[in-house]
Amino acid sequence: MDFEFDAEQRALAERIRAFAAGRLAPAAADGDRRERLRPGLFAELAAEGLFALRVPVAYGGRAASAVGTGIVLEELAAGDLTVCYPVLNAALVAGVLDANATDAQRARWLPPIARGESIIAVCLTEPGHGSDAANIELRAVPAGDGWRLSGEKTSTMLGEYATHGLVFARTGQAGAHGVTAFFIALDDSRVERARLRDLGSRAGGRATLTFDDVPVGRDDVVGAPGCGFVEVMRGFDYSRALIALMCLGAARAAMDEALAHARHRRAFGQPIGRFQGVSFPLVEHATFLHAARLLAYEALWRKDAGLDHRTEANMAKWWAPKAAVDACHQALLTLGQLGWGEDRPLARRLRDVIGTELADGTANVTKLVVARQLLGRENAP
């Protein structure tokens, strides 16, 4: 067993940590207030190679491991969790396209992703279908050699910024086997975007996208018709461990601030860290964050090793966001009234990590997956 990153992974973590501290953290409060990622951010992320992580080298990518991708997201999140979403989507969708596309599609789709020219949204959730995503209703009606998409997607992170979407639509029968995945340009007057106002990750541009008779062709299909849910979605199987590391990165930053405050803030003639009522809760949260982080990295390590990682990734996804929310809350309380202030990042971090309790599946949905593994499908909810 080995619980340490290797030299290359340590160097990656240090490089991204410095980038996050220098370029992301200082702008995070402003982005949150303006509800907008700052202009030029995508170009900067591209210059750092952060859209190229899961793109193969042959298509201009870095072919990063799942663990390496987790390291990047954890460190970015310590600066600004919201900035992780475009990097996360590029990594996940590039992997899905690489696994399911034809050579011609790979050559068309992957290089612009690696260069940060295609900003990607994942368009799955609908107003009537979130957890039961296999029952989505956005229609793909046959037209000529292709289809026309009509219907509504909602809760689409980056919906305001995305140039391209991985859009799941119903081409066939009811249920999972009637769903097809399309990778399409969203810069089309027949795609209407409506911004959602959120509690956290306010700069993330979460939006509702309405598709009004949008033409798509056979060349836009990812994998085969009817395989969107049962095949293409499989490529997302480790996303839950990545999101776990995002919220843990943000929580680590919150804890660092709380620990520094506990060392320096004095009450009743001594540093508040000397009160067990202050330091012991911080110890407990540090323990939960540490353990959840090991679980998330184990899932990614298993993914890289070609081992089954569904249980670990889903365990990490229900636990890490809860641990992160609790830790950020405790960190805020440790700072007293200072933590409540808009000029401190703690309140924003708390709002942002709550979003990770919902994104890519709630705790209940991830527990369903684990329960089926532990109990067997016939004995589980």
Ligand X SMILES: Cc1cc2nc3c(=O)[nH]c(=O)nc-3n(C[C@H](O)[C@H](O)[C@H](O)COP(=O)(O)OP(=O)(O)OC[C@H]3O[C@@H](n4cnc5c(N)ncnc54)[C@H](O)[C@@H]3O)c2cc1C
Which residue of the chain is nearest ligand X when measured via CB? 130
The residue (of 258 and 369) whose beta carbon lies closer to ligand X is 369
Least Cβ distance, residue 136 to ligand X (angstroms): 9
HSE, CB side, 13 Å, CA atoms: give it for residue 15.
Answer: 13
Give the separation between CA 358 and CA 111, rounded to whole angstroms: 31
Amino acid at 34: R
Query: Which residues are near ligand X by CB under 6 A?
Result: 122-125, 130-131, 155-157, 201, 206, 355, 358-362, 364-365
Burial of 116 (0-12, 13-18, 19+ CB in 10 A): buried
The set of residues, in sequence order, having a beta carbon less than 8 Å from that of 285 and lying 6+ positions away, is 251, 255, 323, 326, 327, 330, 331
The residue (of 233 and 278) whose beta carbon lies closer to ligand X is 233
Least Cβ distance, residue 360 to ligand X (angstroms): 6
Least Cβ distance, residue 153 to ligand X (angstroms): 6
Tokens of 7: 């030299």
Closest listed residue to residue 140, CA positions, set 234, 46, 211: 211
The residue (of 23 and 206) whose beta carbon lies closer to ligand X is 206
Least Cβ distance, residue 125 to ligand X (angstroms): 3
Give the separation between CA 112 and CA 43, rounded to whole angstroms: 12
Measure Cα distances from 171 to 114, 142, 148 in Å: 30, 8, 10
Least Cβ distance, residue 124 to ligand X (angstroms): 3
